[in-house]
């Protein structure tokens, strides 16, 4: 499928889409050409059903809930969709609006996201989301909301202006209360410790009181779980999956950005984590095949290209490892995103994501997976937070490592982190 066909599937012509705000929704306009235009189009397709419905107080009423038999995820899936989407699109929202087509688009989406957030944390809203995990009529108590309160807090950390300073007083106050309510949930002895830490970092960023002990415990414990060569255990044991990219490195980096200056030990951990995350990003870049595919290893592969979040985040942080250039990462990620999003059956007739790794594959959904879970794929879009003039977007395309290796070109030999 060429780029024109891709955009035609998005419901636009030429090679570009964007939005202008009207009636609480966003309407078609123009977006940038090239790879950035592809990414913005993907962002729109992921964001529109979630944000437009939540801002209109209709998310719970209209979002389908695809899940494993008898999983009963209806009480948590809506916060999953919103929190995970926001964690991915936040850096783009944080870019200042300007008078370009994309700049006006960003301004429209930032305002839409704030309206959606106001509904999500307002107890009087039909779409007031469950942050505490308490049982509601027909919906059992759950520990899941701690996870997605953390993803929403991560979005605040990634867009402190657009999703923090720009909030009205009532929404800010209610967001703080919602995040605080997730403290009633005890995290598992695993990557879940970072969900508690990220909530606390989000509260700190919002100017609220925060619990240093929850943060310290998560940071020190993960340092003890470090296995070497850029990889942490998910708890005491090593798991061959993408949780180092779904959760562990991204949340360690974002939490440490907020707190590293508070304690000398956290500053030391931050320096170690920077090196470890950079190494894992190099591994992820090498896992992307010439056709954009990557191995379907481990749990939660229905998060699709969210498995590449850490590579996207290191690109956003302008901290790519030596020998890995921004344009080669752009090419690798674009290929992976298109390989995923363009697969037939990825979206239902109303534009909602469906369970699968490549297309619609219900068997890829574990019992904790539902429609809302799938929106963690948005975390693969983090480099949209780099300005269009940044070399990530503006430099000529370069082949990524596997393209060079499998086409007979010279390529750098991999080296472990020592």
Per-residue pLDDT, 359: 98
Strand positions, DSSP E, 229-273: 231-232
User: What secondary structure does DSSP assign to 185-221, as a single string?
Assistant: SPPPSSTTHHHHHHHHHHHHHTT----HHHHHHHHHH
Per-residue pLDDT, 25: 58
Cβ-Cβ contacts under 8 Å for 412 (sequence gap 6 or more): 323, 401
Per-residue pLDDT, 70: 85
In the structure, what pLDDT confidence band is assigned to residue 136 with cuts at 50, 70 and 90?
confident
Distance of alpha carbon 366 from alpha carbon 3, whole angstroms:
33
Per-residue pLDDT, 32: 52
What confidence tens digit (pLDDT) does each residue in 39-78 have? 999 999 999 999 999 999 999 999 999 999 889 999 999 9
242, 300 Cβ separation under 8 angstroms: yes
Per-residue pLDDT, 138: 80
What confidence tens digit (pLDDT) does each residue in 343-375 have? 999 999 999 999 999 999 999 999 999 999 999
What confidence tens digit (pLDDT) does each residue in 197-224 have? 999 999 999 999 999 999 999 999 999 9
What confidence tens digit (pLDDT) does each residue in 386-404 have? 999 999 999 999 999 999 9
Measured CA distances, 275 to 197, 210, 253, 259, 260 (Å): 21, 27, 11, 18, 15
Pick the CATH number of 19-406 from 1.50.10, 3.30.43, 1.10.3210, 3.30.420: 1.50.10
In the structure, what pLDDT confidence band is assigned to residue 9 with cuts at 50, 70 and 90?
very low
Which region among 18-22, 105-109, 117-121, 171-175 has the lowest average model confidence (pLDDT)?
18-22
The domain spans of the chain are: 19-406
What confidence tens digit (pLDDT) does each residue in 11-38 have? 333 333 333 334 445 544 444 569 999 9
288, 402 Cβ separation under 8 angstroms: yes
Per-residue pLDDT, 96: 85
Per-residue pLDDT, 150: 98
What confidence tens digit (pLDDT) does each residue in 270-329 have? 999 999 999 999 999 999 999 999 999 999 999 999 999 999 999 999 999 999 999 999
CA angle centred on 55, ends 43 and 171, rounded to 5°: 110
pLDDT value at 6 more than 50: no
User: What secondary structure does DSSP assign to 14-79, as a single string?
Assistant: TT---EEEETTEEEE----SHHHHHHHHHHHHHHHHHHHHHHTT-HHHH----BSTT---TTTHHH
Question: How confident is the prediction for the chain on average, in pLDDT?
Answer: 93
């Amino acid at each position: 499928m060429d780029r024109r066909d891709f955009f035609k599937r998005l419901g636009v012509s030429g090679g570009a889409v964007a939005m202008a705000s009207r009636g609480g929704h966003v309407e078609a306009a123009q977006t940038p050409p090239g790879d950035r235009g592809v990414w913005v189009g993907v962002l729109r397709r992921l964001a529109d059903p979630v944000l437009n419905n939540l801002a209109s107080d209709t998310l719970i009423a209209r979002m389908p809930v695809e899940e494993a038999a008898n999983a009963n995820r209806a009480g948590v899936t809506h916060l999953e969709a919103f929190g995970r989407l926001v964690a991915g699109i936040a850096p783009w929202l944080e870019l200042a609006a300007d008078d370009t087509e994309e700049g006006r688009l960003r301004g429209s989406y930032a305002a839409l996201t704030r309206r959606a957030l106001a509904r999500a944390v307002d107890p009087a809203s039909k779409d007031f989301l469950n942050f505490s995990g308490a049982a509601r009529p027909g919906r059992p108590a759950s520990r899941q909301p701690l996870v997605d309160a953390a993803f929403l807090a991560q979005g605040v950390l990634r867009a402190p202006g657009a999703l923090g300073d720009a909030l009205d007083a009532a929404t800010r106050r209610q967001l703080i209360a919602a995040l605080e309510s997730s403290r009633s949930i005890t995290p598992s002895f695993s990557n879940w410790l970072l969900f508690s830490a990220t909530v606390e970092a989000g509260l700190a960023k919002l100017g609220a009181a925060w619990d240093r002990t929850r943060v310290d415990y998560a940071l020190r414990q993960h340092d003890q779980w470090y296995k070497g060569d850029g990889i942490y255990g998910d708890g005491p044991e090593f798991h061959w999956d993408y949780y180092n990219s779904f959760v562990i490195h991204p949340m360690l980096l974002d939490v440490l950005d907020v707190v590293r200056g508070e304690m000398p030990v956290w500053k030391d951990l931050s320096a170690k984590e920077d090196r470890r995350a950079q190494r894992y990003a190099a591994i992820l870049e090498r896992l992307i095949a010439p056709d954009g595919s990557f191995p379907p290893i481990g749990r939660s592969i229905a998060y699709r290209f969210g498995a590449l979040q850490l590579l996207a985040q290191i690109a956003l942080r302008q901290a790519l490892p030596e020998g890995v250039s921004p344009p080669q990462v752009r090419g690798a990620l674009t290929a992976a995103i298109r390989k995923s999003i363009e697969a037939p059956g990825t979206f239902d007739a109303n534009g909602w994501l469906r369970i699968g790794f490549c297309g619609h594959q219900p068997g890829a959904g574990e019992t904790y997976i539902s429609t809302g879970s799938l929106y963690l794929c948005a975390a693969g879009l983090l480099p949209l937070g780099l300005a269009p003039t940044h070399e990530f977007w503006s430099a000529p395309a370069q082949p990524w490592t596997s393209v060079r290796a499998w086409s007979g070109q010279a390529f750098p030999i991999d080296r472990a982190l020592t």
